[in-house]
Amino acid sequence: MIICRSKMEYPLRSQRQRAHKQVMVNGENERVSLLFMKAVVSRGSVDAVSQQMASHPQYLESFLRTQHYILHMDGPLPLPYRHYIAIMAAARHHCNYLVYLHSAQFLRVGGDPQWLQGLEAAPPRLRLLDHINKVLAHQPWLTACSHFQALLKSGEQCWSLAELVQAVVILAHCHSLCSFVFGCDTDTDADFVPSSKSPNGVPPTFCPFDAANGNANVPQSLATPSEHRTRRRSLDSSCDMVCLKERIQKSQEEREKREERLLQTHTLQQTDAEEEDETMCFTDPTRFITDPDLCYQEFARREEDHFQVFRVQDVFSLQDYSWEDHGFSLVNRLYSDIGHLLDDRFRSVTTLPTMHSPDLKRAIWNYIHCVLGIRYDDYDYGEVNQLLERDFKLYIKAVACFPDATKTLVCPLSLAPLKTSERIHVNLLIMEARLQAELLYALRAITQYMIA
């Protein structure tokens, strides 16, 4: 017997599907609005990086949770140290955006303004991090046990193991974030300087920068009108706007009072010329680096094999190390809970609901690890060439290994048809894969130190 479905059933199903999809979209918009509200109330603005990531609210929440934990929550390092280490990390890639952002935050948490004159003005303990900063940023496979021995056994200026682990996490976090900033062209945006006040006293909706195509300077007012209206309605429906304005204004007034007290404490009475010079210290990353010619070099050249490939296998040795089996447990033991937060980031970025297939995501992740000297014995690297076109691989490698070398990265033809959110997802994958690679090398070296 053949059962014929009613003709009305199909339109009804379609309507239910559209209604379900609309509920999901509204839920994601509400989630973004809530995250932005929290940022505005706490900092008075929404930074450009969060605006870019807002197309993936699930990941953004995980990212902000981790970043807040390492920069602001309990930990062995003082708050000014944390932001200064972030400045040092961002300066290795000449990332003006992050250098300025963390310089401002460094002053807000009570950092000594004299340190911002350059690396030479920083305490000796911070200057000792310069070498490991260089190695992790450009050639992480050179990270060795001896680098950590020098820091842990340097007399009065020695670091504790817990302090060093937090410092390494901050360095790796900011190095990889530089890749995202340049990949999304945030650093070249004319309005990259964080604003102390949001326009019209309300939190800005995230700007749909068409970053991968180089259209990073399109004003938000020129964004797709329908998208702008949709986001604005979502924001209006998420809270009472009058209440929100009052909270924002109160937050801004409190922040301005704190900054005034800070200026009075340090008696920063400067002339206009001195103020211009101070502004330069925010935007000139070269003050915070040494050996500026050090950069990424090809890990594996066919005619040279100076370094042993870092292999990830099931059997542990000093050459075989993985995040799941070794890195996670070590970092979580030395820096409480950070392993769980980082693991959530890694899982979140690879499970985002996007058009990219799981095979493509894995190919991007493993290709980045490959160019950084990490190979997986259970992966067929022929898939990389099958799934990633040559121009796509060049783009991935540039963003991951030398993001600041080309100020305007050319969008690969294979990415051009994708939506902005899909291209941002590619840059998120690059950032997280690089972060994990740096952590693996650093944590392996620390393991070697501990068992030596």
Dihedrals phi, psi of 209, to nearest 5 degrees: -60, 130
Choose, from 95, 174, 207, 411, the residue flagged as catalytic.
95
Q: Could you write out the DSSP letters of every residue in 198-232?
A: -GGGSPPPPP--BGGGTBTT--GGGS-HHHHHHHH
Q: Is the pLDDT of residue 90 over 90?
A: yes
More confident residue, 316 or 56: 56
Pair 196, 107: CB distance under 8 Å: no
Q: Residue 61 class from Cβ within 10 Å (0-12 exposed, 13-18 middle, 19+ buried)?
A: middle
pLDDT at 112 over 90: yes
pLDDT band, residue 40 (cuts 50/70/90): very low
For tokens 């001195």, name the residue.
274
Q: Catalytic site residue 95?
A: yes
CA proximity to 345, closest of 312, 364, 323 = 323
Question: Using one digit for the tens of pLDDT, what is the confidence trace for 206-231?
Answer: 332 333 333 333 334 333 333 333 33
Query: What is the rounded CA–CA span in Å between residue 164 and residue 168?
Result: 6
Q: Which of 86-100, 252-266, 326-340 has the lowest mean pLDDT?
A: 252-266
Q: Provide CB contacts within 8 A for 442, sequence distance 6+.
A: 132, 136, 140, 143, 168, 172
How does pLDDT run across 7-34, given as a tens digit for each residue? 444 344 445 544 444 444 455 556 555 5
pLDDT of 272 reads 44
User: Mean pLDDT, to the nearest integer, of 425-447?
Assistant: 96
Give pLDDT tens digits for 135-182.
999 999 999 999 999 999 867 889 999 999 999 999 999 999 999 999
3-state secondary structure of 174: helix
Structure tokens at 377: 């014995």
pLDDT at residue 320, rounded to an integer: 76
Confidence at residue 247, expressed as pLDDT on a 0 to 100 scale: 53
pLDDT band with cut points at 50, 70 and 90 for residue 47? confident
What phi and psi values does residue 7 have, to the nearest 5 degrees? Answer: -65, -25
Per-residue pLDDT tens digits for 352-361: 887 788 999 9
pLDDT of 21 reads 45
* pLDDT at residue 42 tops 80: no
The whole-number pLDDT of residue 196 equals 34
Asked if pLDDT for residue 276 goes beyond 90, the answer is no
Q: Is the pLDDT of residue 451 over 70?
A: yes
How high does pLDDT run on average in the chain? Answer: 75
Question: Phi and psi dihedrals of 376, rounded to 5?
Answer: -110, 125
pLDDT at residue 198 tops 80: no
Instruction: Please indicate whether residue 21 or residue 397 has the higher confidence score (pLDDT).
Output: 397
Q: By percentage, how much of the chain surpasses pLDDT 70? A: 62
pLDDT at 11: 45
The answer, yes or no, to whether residue 400 has pLDDT greater than 90, is yes
Determine the average pLDDT of the residues in 240-265. Answer: 57
Query: What is d(CA 228, CA 220) in angstroms, rounded to the nearest whole number?
Result: 8
pLDDT exceeds cutoff 50 at 38: yes
Percent of the chain with pLDDT over 90: 51
**35 and 57 Cβ atoms separated by less than 8 Å:** yes
- The predicted pLDDT at position 65 comes to 94
Q: How far, in Å, CA of 134 to CA of 423, rounded?
A: 29
> Which among 15, 25, 20, 18 has a CA at the least distance from the CA of 234?
25
On the question of pLDDT at 202 being above 60, the answer is: no
The yes-or-no verdict on residue 364 having pLDDT over 90 is yes
